[in-house]
Structure 1
Amino acid sequence: MATTGSAEGASDSPALWAEVRALLPRAEEGLTLALSGEVEDCVLPLLRRARSLLYGAAGRPGAATAAALERLSDALRDYSWEKLNAGPWREVGKGWRQVYAYGCLFGALAEVAAGRPLARAVRLCDLGLLMGASVLDNVLARLVRALQPHLPRAAPRDGARAQSVRPEPPPPCAVQHEELIPHLRCPSLEHFRDNYLVPQRPVVLEGVMDHWPCMKKWSVDYFCQVAGCRTVPVELGARYTDEEWSQQLMTVSDFISQYIMDEIPELKEDISIPDYCCLGEGEEDDITINAWFGPGGTVSPLHQDPQQNFLAQVLGRKYIRLYSPQDSENLYPHESQILHNTSQVDVEDPDLVKFPNFTKAAFQSCILMPGQILFIPVKYWHYVRSLELSFSVSFWWS
């Protein structure tokens, strides 16, 4: 196991460079620079020059070589960044995303070779993972795992914590028909399949995640220690349908200090895929796992998803409403292609003059508590509001 670096997280250890270098192919020709798509002719010579600098040194590159590698990294990232932001994301060629990933890789390696603090190297890895495409068997993910143990551990936070806001769920419209979502404790696979999956009926599962390590170990201090330096995309705004909604890249520590003042969890190895997912048609690798955390009052507007969903609550409470796909016409989906899966109705304050048929839609509701998993059948409409600082993990499966 790698030892923790200095207080500044410097990368001046020869052992660290050897560990990092071992993540790359041994010979220069093994680093193939294969791109999945066309890029401009001026790019490949830059990539090859960076590769030659990296493999030209018998051991750890000297200061001059590291500086030259850094300049090439900057050029590759700056040029490909323009391509990534020139139009809609879906139209960005994978080749340009790979160029950006290579630029981040060479930049991170230059930081380590120069013996600088590792925070910038980790940030470059994260940017490559977020905006780039996988290269060299996802080398950026492997590199950041190697660097992280050498970073300084964050000190526990001092001072008083902010009080949790515990707003209650909104009262339902008097003319709507509401029923509570049923609860079930550790049903067998057959019972869940026959009574909920096949008939597509929502249910809250209890006891399924009691053994997950996250239920005991996750806290804001723990999260800062193991992932405080990592860069993540953060959604800013009450709901994604608002005009002022936006996204911003920031470190986990900055997100916690700016937006979160209570406990918060993470870490994929502390959770488990529910056994009930094996009842689906896809493989385990096809399951999409997302982590959702935010302060009290965070809202997901009424929307539907194209896959089955297990929503596992780890921390905090969430108020949730579910509407059957049969009521879709009464929920007034947006007409635009981008938001066609999202209702125009504000569930908490519906405009019944503009959306009169909304009162005809019956719904089920629950307050999802820590340790509970909600099964949301495919295409079921769901509205979610955090009643306090909350952390959830969703498993999308087919």
Structure 2
Amino acid sequence: MVLKLEAIPRVSSITKEDFLEHYFKPQKPVVIESAVGHWPAIKKWNLAYMQQVAGEKTVPLYDDRPVNHEDGFNEPHAEMKMAEYIDLLKREPTKYRIFLWNILKEVPLLQKDYDFPDFGLRLQKRLPMLFFGGRDSYTFMHYDIDMANIFHFHFDGKKDVILFPQSETKYLYKVPHSLITHESIDFSAPDYKKWPALEKVLGYRTELQHGEVLYMPEGYWHYMKYITPGFSMSLRSWPKNPKNFVHAIYNILVMRSFDVAMRRLKGQKWIDYKNSQAIERTKRAVLV
């Protein structure tokens, strides 16, 4: 058995009015294949170019190790010069990823290569973030702390993407007081004997290629796996649904602070407790 995943709709281009009517208002994902063909980045941005313009920058790296109570919020697991990191990506598979790094601030030259498309939503101009990964590296299934509308632009290579709306959370073994599902789940090939609730979950899937942009609606769960080495940039817009906006404020001001405090107070016992609760709460929800 495989996950019940519908192909994310694709359009070659789209007007602002059609995007708002058919995807933003109903909160449905879409891949726009040629949304930013005018960007210089479409022709220039690849791993070799990033190595050229940012090779001397020290970059934060993350892998797929389980959360530890000693880890800070979004604390990197290692650091490396960008030139060395890209050499590693080209040479062999690696679990190391760059996550939420504002390279556009670190290398202002890159800001000339893109603009902020008019999709009908106000984009946050101070928060363009880049994400890099090697073949077979992946992110844990998670949703973003700010519950934002996300436009995810992909460059150089292919990336597998699985999405779920918040309505499917009850089946996903969400870890309480966090933004992730249980880290033992392999969403590329889930073990249904161990995670039976996943038989009920309904989601979306696509494969992103160079120059394509994926719209992820507010608070959507997402899992991303690099088929080949590559990188992406996300632009975001604050949630417009009042419920999601309040959820975002709670995540930022309350949930994150509470979780950090409990890690300090109880250590690994707190992490283990949360993981066990992810399983127990999901069992109860599925039995209802």
Q: Scaled by the length of structure 2, what TM-score is found? A: 0.67
Query: Does the 8 A contact of 1:318 with 1:386 survive in 2?
Result: yes
Match of 1:195 among 16, 22, 28: 22
Query: In structure 2, how many angstroms separate the alpha carbons of the residues matched to 1:261 and 1:271?
Result: 29
Q: Does 1:361 align with 2:213?
A: no
Deviations 1:242-301 (A, max 9, x none): 669952232212222344449xx983332222211x424xx644x521101121111011
**Greater Cα radius of gyration, structure 1 or 2:** 1
Q: Name the structure 2 match of 1:95.
A: none
RMSD after superposition? 2.5
Alpha-carbon distance, 1:311 to partner: 0.7
Alpha-carbon distance, 1:357 to partner: 1.1
Query: Does the 8 A contact of 2:158 with 2:230 survive in 1?
Result: yes
Match of 2:137 among 290, 298, 308: 298
Query: Does the 8 A contact of 1:204 with 1:373 survive in 2?
Result: yes
Alpha-carbon distance, 1:185 to partner: 2.4
Q: Does 1:328 align with 2:166?
A: no
Number of residue-to-residue matches in the alignment: 214
Match of 2:213 among 373, 376, 382: 373
Residue pairs, 1:195-214, within 5 angstroms: 195-214=22-41
Residue pairs, 1:1-398, within 5 angstroms: 173-174=1-2, 176-235=3-62, 237=63, 239=64, 241=66, 246-261=76-91, 267-276=110-119, 278-280=120-122, 284-285=124-125, 288-305=127-144, 306-335=147-176, 337=177, 340-344=178-182, 345-398=185-238
Query: In structure 2, how many angstroms separate the alpha carbons of the residues matched to 1:219 and 1:362?
Result: 34
Per the alignment, do residues 284 and 327 of structure 1 end up closer, same or farther by CA in structure 2, a change over 3 Å counting? closer
Query: In structure 1, how many angstroms separate the alpha carbons of the residues matched to 2:34 and 2:143?
Result: 26
Per the alignment, do residues 321 and 391 of structure 1 end up closer, same or farther by CA in structure 2, a change over 3 Å counting? same
Per the alignment, do residues 352 and 188 of structure 1 end up closer, same or farther by CA in structure 2, a change over 3 Å counting? same
The one-letter amino acid paired with 1:279 is L
The one-letter amino acid paired with 1:194 is E
Alpha-carbon distance, 1:189 to partner: 0.9
Query: In structure 2, how many angstroms separate the alpha carbons of the residues matched to 1:240 and 1:394?
Result: 24
Query: Does the 8 A contact of 1:240 with 1:300 survive in 2?
Result: no
Query: In structure 2, how many angstroms separate the alpha carbons of the residues matched to 1:312 and 1:217?
Result: 14
Per the alignment, do residues 331 and 253 of structure 1 end up closer, same or farther by CA in structure 2, a change over 3 Å counting? same
For residue 196 of structure 1, give the secondary structure of its aligned residue in structure 2: helix
Per the alignment, do residues 376 and 240 of structure 1 end up closer, same or farther by CA in structure 2, a change over 3 Å counting? farther
Q: Name the structure 1 match of 2:258.
A: none
The one-letter amino acid paired with 2:114 is I
Query: In structure 2, how many angstroms separate the alpha carbons of the residues matched to 1:219 and 1:179?
Result: 30
For residue 288 of structure 1, give the secondary structure of its aligned residue in structure 2: coil
Give the structure, 1 or 2, with the largest relative contact order (CA under 8 Å, sep 6 or more): 2
5+ residue gaps, structure 2, are 93-102, 105-109, 239-288
Per the alignment, do residues 257 and 371 of structure 1 end up closer, same or farther by CA in structure 2, a change over 3 Å counting? closer
The one-letter amino acid paired with 2:121 is L
The one-letter amino acid paired with 1:190 is E
Deviations 1:286-330 (A, max 9, x none): x52110112111101111121111111111111111112111000
Query: In structure 2, how many angstroms separate the alpha carbons of the residues matched to 1:240 and 1:183?
Result: 34
For residue 181 of structure 2, give the secondary structure of its aligned residue in structure 1: coil
Deviations 1:334-377 (A, max 9, x none): 12x2xx21111321232323421111001211111111101000
- Report which of the two has the higher share of strand: 2
Query: In structure 1, how many angstroms separate the alpha carbons of the residues matched to 2:111 and 2:81?
Result: 18
The one-letter amino acid paired with 1:223 is M
The one-letter amino acid paired with 1:232 is V
Query: Does the 8 A contact of 1:331 with 1:343 survive in 2?
Result: yes
